[in-house]
Amino acid sequence: MNISSQRSTLSYLFWPFVITALGLAIGAFLGWQAEGTLSAVLSYFLICAILAVLEISLSFDNAIVNANKLKSMTPLWRKRFLTWGIVIAVFGMRIVFPLLIVVIAAKVGPLEAVKLAASQPEEYARIMQDAHVSIAAFGGTFLMMVALGFFCDPEKDLHWINWIEVRMASSATIKGIEVALVLILLIAFASFLPTEESNTFIRAGLYGLLTYLIVDTLGAVLDRTSAATKTAAQGGLGAFLYLEVLDASFSFDGVIGAFALSQNLFIIAIGLGIGAMYVRAMTIMLVERGTLSQYRYLEHGAFYAILILSVIMYTQTLVHIPETITGLGGATLIGIALLSSCRWNKANA
């Protein structure tokens, strides 16, 4: 890598570095405020750092999918997603979303939920864990539809693992095949759960499926309208909504898993927020450098990782799967796809 390339890479990482330093400093300060000892300062500091790494490892595939969608967006809507989107991702999903779950589950007001998070973190964490079945069903269903939508595409002619992808692409001629596959898996996993949790799982999964269909339909309608009126702003809105829901679905796993490391909502928000900044930087770098077009199988690896993540989210309602395995699994798939792309580039130089 030459010097100009190194400088370019560092320019992408400037704000993530700034947010990292600021976030870790605030985390250490919260440790001192909570216990007043150096060990607490170091503990809070390390937890924030570990959560940031966890978020980055879980979101490699998110950055690649975001970059693929951003390529087709107008510069205006691309900028809006990378500014407003990061605000929604950090504050909405890492702070408001966990509070909203407690508000609904505990039937308390928003201020009471904040007080509960600050004064009774153990109870707050318990409520979040109790909502895990519905969160896993909703997020897993949405992500599974996203992945199947990529593979079950009759116009898809570039395949990485041919014997799987050719069959999946040809199956797209069967109307509603993706929905049928998701519903079969949803019912199959629900059959292993107790009756009450099974009902919750199916209901939340159906909401996830409905959300995907609404967002996908809305995006298609807006794109068609924008083409007819020769404007791209509306199509940008459809893609913006799609990416926001997609980002939210990716965040479910990280937010729930973070409570295994800390029950402090504010520490979790800091750690995951730092990670989200790096995901944003990776997304911008992928778009501006055209990395997806340079490495032909990178996108395939990301969608395989999404498909596996969705199944893992379903499976986590039955058995515990450490978030490190989830993150490393996705990163490994993307790494293999990258190596395959490099081998193809070398063979076809």
Chunked mean pLDDT (size 10), the chain, 349 residues:
53 88 93 88 89 79 83 80 77 75 77 81 80 88 91 88 90 88 96 93 94 82 58 60 78 70 82 86 84 86 90 91 76 90 90
Distance CA 44, CA 219 (A): 42
Which pLDDT score is estimated for 225? 60
Which pLDDT score is estimated for 226? 53
Query: Whole-structure pTM over 0.95, yes or no?
Result: no
Which pLDDT score is estimated for 257? 67
Distance CA 200, CA 44 (A): 35
Q: Minimal CA–CA distance to 96: which of 121, 117, 123, 122?
A: 117
Tokens of 33: 């405020």
What is each CA distance from 5 to 8, 150, 177, 278, 344, in whole angstroms?
5, 32, 44, 18, 23
Q: Minimal CA–CA distance to 74: which of 287, 233, 246, 285?
A: 233
Which pLDDT score is estimated for 311? 93
- What residues have CB less than 8 Å from 207, skipping those under 6 apart? 138
Helices and strands of the chain, counted as H and E runs: 17, 0
Which pLDDT score is estimated for 181? 94
Q: Minimal CA–CA distance to 59: which of 272, 228, 266?
A: 272
CA dihedral (177, 181, 186, 192) positive or negative: positive
* CB-CB contact of 216 with 142 (8 Å): no
Collapse the DSSP code of 177 into the 3-class scheme (helix H, G, I; strand E, B; otherwise coil) and give the result.
Answer: helix
CA atoms within 13 A on the CB side of 223: 15
Looking at residue 263, what DSSP letter applies? -
Distance CA 147, CA 250 (A): 12
Write a three-state SS string for 207-249: HHHHHHHHHHHHHHHHHHHHHHHCCCHHHHHHHHHHHHHHHHH
Distance CA 235, CA 196 (A): 41
